[in-house]
Amino acid sequence: MKDHEQLGREIVSAVDEKNIIPYEKWIVSFSHSRKNNIKISYREFFAQGFYEAYDIVMTFAEKQNVDVRWFKEKRNCGGSISNYKITKLESFCTYCNRKFNHADPIPCNHANCYSIFCSRECLDDHVMLLHRLHRSKT
């Protein structure tokens, strides 16, 4: 009986694949002014559509007290911006695993290490624990 009942059942996925909105890479341009000095920065992030991208951008702008100049999908930005390596809107520190977005990430300078850090202190701790210990063992 069980085999017959199972054959009659239709397998339905929990997610309707026709309605899935893919994640797109977006670019946002911010301006931040301090005493007649305007700094313009670009950041990239992933979002599933315009409204999610808008929410991410406005939340970030409010937290960081910056003005949004524009944001759009990276594929619609043209070759001039698409060819540059742009900092992520929010990154995770490899050492302390905290989310940060206050500054450009600090990369590790060792060969074949692609770690990024939120502070010089995290970088120094990473180098001492990972790279110096590996050198002393070999």
pLDDT beyond 70 at 137: no
Check: pTM over 0.75? Answer yes or no: no
Nearest C-alpha neighbor of 34 from the set 59, 60, 67? 67
SS3 state of residue 95: coil
Q: Which residues of 85-116 are buried (b: 16+ CB within 10 A; e: fewer)?
A: ebeebebebbbeeeebbeeebbebeeeeeebb
Q: Check residue 133 and give its pLDDT.
A: 64
Task: Provide the mean pLDDT of the chain.
Answer: 79
75 token code pair: 């594929």
Q: Averaging pLDDT over each range in 69-73, 106-110, 129-133, which range is the top one?
A: 69-73
Mean pLDDT of 11-20: 64
Q: Residue type for 129, please?
A: L
The CATH fold of domain 21-89: Ubiquitin-like (UB roll) (3.10.20)
- Per-residue pLDDT tens digits for 24-70: 888 898 888 776 778 888 888 888 889 999 998 998 888 888 889 99
Give ranges for CATH 3.10.20 in the chain: 21-89
